[in-house]
Amino acid sequence: MLSLPERVQVYEVGPRDGLQNEPSPVPTDVKVDLVQRLADAGLPYVEASSFVHPRWIPQLGDAEEVFARIERKPGVRYGALVPNMRGLARAQESGVDTIAVFVSASETHNNKNLNRSIDESLANIAEVIGELKGSGTWVRAYLSMVFGCPYEGEIPLAQVAQVAERLFELGIDQLSLGDTVGHGDPRSVGERVRSLGEGLPMDKLALHFHDTRGTALANIVAGLDAGVRIFDGAVGGLGGCPYAPGASGNVATEDLVQMLHSMGIETGVDLDALVGVAAFMEEKLRKRLPGRFLRAACGLYEPPA
Amino acid sequence: MLSLPERVQVYEVGPRDGLQNEPSPVPTDVKVDLVQRLADAGLPYVEASSFVHPRWIPQLGDAEEVFARIERKPGVRYGALVPNMRGLARAQESGVDTIAVFVSASETHNNKNLNRSIDESLANIAEVIGELKGSGTWVRAYLSMVFGCPYEGEIPLAQVAQVAERLFELGIDQLSLGDTVGHGDPRSVGERVRSLGEGLPMDKLALHFHDTRGTALANIVAGLDAGVRIFDGAVGGLGGCPYAPGASGNVATEDLVQMLHSMGIETGVDLDALVGVAAFMEEKLRKRLPGRFLRAACGLYEPPA
C-alpha cells in the first residue's frame, strides 16, 4: 500500500533550469512575466535566474534585470543559482535573498560540468555560505546524478550520502536530489531515498526529476511513498535534455500538480492558472512543450508552424 | 516500501487499440509487418486487429487479410477484438484462437459506445463465449472506465466489481481493467485494484492505461505495488486520444518495458528490438509518436515534415 501525505510542496525551476536549456533566446520581458505568473499561480518557490557567468549560460545573462524587475509577492521565495563568489556578489547586488548552489555526486560529471572536483565544489559552497552568515539568506543545494550518471553509471550510495551530509554540515536549508539525466527508476528511487533519509533530515529533502524516459511521475510516486514532501518541476516541461535532442527536460510542473491533486494531495497551486502559464510559454516560444496535461487540457491549441 | 515482482507480462495492443485511433490509414502490409515485428521482439500477446464492422472502425477493415498473412510464432497469442456473433463468425473463418471482448463499467459510456446497456453487452459476451465452448479459444475481456468516466465521473467500485465478477462467471480467461481516458491516479489505482483483487483472481487481472495526462507509468507502479502482473501497452504510444487531440493514447510499450527492466523486473521482451518497431512505425506514419523513451533512444531522428 502506498504511503501518501496530505500535502506536498512544489518548487518551480522552469525560469532557470528550463530556460537555460532552451535553444531559443527568451526576452527579459517574457521572463519577468513568467516568474510573476508562476508566483501568482501559488507556487511557493520560483527559481528565477542564474548568476553563472553569461559566457557559460548566455540564456540567463539578464539575471540582474530579471531580479530588478520582478514584483515580489509576499511568502514566495525567488531563487537564483549562484556558482561562486563572483556570482554571489552579483546576486547580492540584486538583493537576492534565496540562493541555490550545486555540486554533483559524480566526480566525472562535476569535473566535466564545473571543471573542478567535488571537494573543490564543496569548498566553494562553504565559502559562499560563509559569506552569507547572518544575512538571513536561504540556501538550497542541488545534488546532481543521485540516481545514475551518463559517465560513471550508478554512483555508490555511500558517496551520495557523504556529499549530502557535508552540504547539510555547511548549513544549507534544503537539498534537492537530482535525477539529472532521467535514469532513475521507481525501485531505485524508493530504495535510495529511504536509505538517504536515515542519515539526512527527510523534511529538508526535495526530489528533482528529468523526464527523459517518461518515468518522472512514476519516480515521484516512489519518492512520495519513501517520505519526500518537496518536488521540483518546470512549467510546461521547459528545457529539454541536452543529451537527447527531442527528449524531455524537467517534469512539467502542471503534470505533477495534476497528479498530486488527483491523488487528493494538496499543493496550494491553482492548476488552471499553471496550465495557463504553460500555454503562455508555448505561445512565446512558438513551439509545443513536452508537458502532457497541457495537451489534454488544451488539445485543440496548435502553435504557429 | 513498494512491493514489486520479479517478472511481469506485457501485452501489446498497438495494432488494434493504437491503429484504430490513428487518423491516417495504415496499409495492410505495414500492419502485418508490425504484428510480426512485435512478436519477434518477444511480446507474448499481440492484439492484431478487430472484427468490429468496418463501418464503425474502417481503420481495421482488413482484419481477415491481416490474419491470413501473419506468420504465427509459436508461444505467441495473436488476439482479435470480437464485438458480437457476426464478428465471431468472421474471426472463426480467419482461424483466430484468441479473442477479446469488451464492455464498459459505465452505463452511459456503454450506451454511447455500443448502443446497448451493460446487461445487453454481457448477454452478447455470454453468447459469444457459449459458441466457443470446447474450441479451446482463449478469451480476454476489456472492462472500460474502471478509473473514471468522462460522462459519469467515478464509477462506484461495487458496480465495477459486479461486472468484473460476471465476466469471470461467463468463463473469460483474463480481464484487462481499463483507464480508458487516462483519468486514473496512483492512489485510486492502488486502492481500486487492491479492493477488486479481493473478489477476483489477481493473476488473471491486467491493467490498461491511457497516458492522456502523463500518469500511465505512475499508475503502473501503483498497480504493481497492488499485485497486478500483466500490463497493456501500444508500441510508440500509437493511437492518441479521440477526446483530446494531441494527447497520448495507450502508454508506449517500450516506455513500460524500459521502466520495468530498469527496476530489475523481467519481461522477456527485447527492448532494443521494441524501440526499433516504434521507430519503424514513426517512419511509416511519417510523424512523431508520443513514446518518451523513443526520443531519448533516437533523439536525433527527425521524421520527414
**Does A26 have pLDDT greater than 50?**
yes
Calculate mean pLDDT across residues A15-22: 92
> How far is the CA of B157 from the CAs of B178, B194, B230, in angstroms?
14, 11, 21
The reported pLDDT for the residue numbered B41 is: 98
User: Which residues pair with residue A177 across a beta bridge?
Assistant: A143, A207
CB pair distance less than 8 Å for B215 and A255: yes
- A contact test, residue of B262, B282, B287 with most A CBs within 10 A: B262
Which chain A residues touch B300 with a CB distance below 8 Å? Answer: 245-246
Closest CA to B81 of B106, B108, B33, B114: B114
Which chain B residues touch A4 with a CB distance below 8 Å? Answer: 187
**Shortest Cα–Cα distance, A135 to chain B (Å):** 40
Calculate mean pLDDT across residues A242-261: 84
The reported pLDDT for the residue numbered A288 is: 87
**Shortest Cα–Cα distance, B210 to chain A (Å):** 12
Q: Tell me which of B167, B241, B277, B294 is the catalytic residue.
A: B241
Read off the C-alpha cell for A164: 549530502
Torsion sign across C-alpha atoms A84, A90, A95, A100: negative
* H or E, element range at A223: helix A216-226
CB pair distance less than 8 Å for B217 and A220: no
d(CA A16, CA A180) in angstroms, rounded, equals: 14
B182–chain A Cβ distance below 8 A for any pair? yes
Mean pLDDT score across all residues of chain B: 93
The reported pLDDT for the residue numbered B304 is: 38
- Using 50, 70 and 90 to split pLDDT, how confident is the model at A300? very low
**Does B109 have pLDDT greater than 80?**
yes
**Does A303 have pLDDT greater than 50?**
no
| pLDDT tens track for B77-105 | 999 999 999 999 999 999 999 999 999 99
Read off the C-alpha cell for A166: 557535508
B295–chain A Cβ distance below 8 A for any pair? yes
Asked whether the beta carbons of B242 and A293 are under 8 A apart, the reply is no
Amino acid identity for residue A203 in this structure = D
Asked whether the beta carbons of B184 and B152 are under 8 A apart, the reply is no
| pLDDT tens track for B249-266 | 899 999 999 999 999 999
Nearest-5° Cα angle at B205, B202 to B206: 140
- The CB density around residue B175, as the number of other CB atoms within 10 Å, is 24
- Using 50, 70 and 90 to split pLDDT, how confident is the model at B23? confident
CB pair distance less than 8 Å for B259 and A225: no
- Using 50, 70 and 90 to split pLDDT, how confident is the model at B300? very low
Which chain B residues touch A213 with a CB distance below 8 Å? Answer: 255, 258-259, 262, 292-293, 296
From the number of C-beta atoms within 10 Å of its C-beta (0-12, 13-18, 19+), residue B284 rates as middle
Name which of A1, A214, A264 is nearest B217 (Cβ-Cβ).
A214
Q: Enter the ipTM.
A: 0.93
Read off the C-alpha cell for B223: 498497480
The reported pLDDT for the residue numbered B180 is: 87
What residue spans define the domains of chain B? 9-297
**Does A243 have pLDDT greater than 60?**
no
pTM: 0.94
The reported pLDDT for the residue numbered A23 is: 80
Calculate mean pLDDT across residues B236-249: 72
- B contact test, residue of A6, A21, A187 with most B CBs within 10 A: A187
Find out if CATH 3.20.20.70 is the number for domain B9-297.
Answer: yes
Q: Tell me which of A19, A224, A241, A256 is the catalytic residue.
A: A241
- Using 50, 70 and 90 to split pLDDT, how confident is the model at B243? low
CB pair distance less than 8 Å for A247 and B222: no
B211–chain A Cβ distance below 8 A for any pair? yes
Calculate mean pLDDT across residues B177-182: 90
**Does A304 have pLDDT greater than 60?**
no
Read off the C-alpha cell for B113: 459506445
**Shortest Cα–Cα distance, A53 to chain B (Å):** 29
Residue burial B255-270, b: 16+ Cβ < 10 Å; e: rest: bbbbbbebbebebebe
- The CB density around residue A107, as the number of other CB atoms within 10 Å, is 17
d(CA B50, CA A303) in angstroms, rounded, equals: 35
The reported pLDDT for the residue numbered A22 is: 85
Asked whether the beta carbons of B12 and B78 are under 8 A apart, the reply is no
**Does B12 have pLDDT greater than 90?**
yes
The reported pLDDT for the residue numbered A242 is: 60
In whole angstroms, what separates CA A173 from the centre of its chain? Answer: 15
The reported pLDDT for the residue numbered B241 is: 62
**Does A80 have pLDDT greater than 90?**
yes
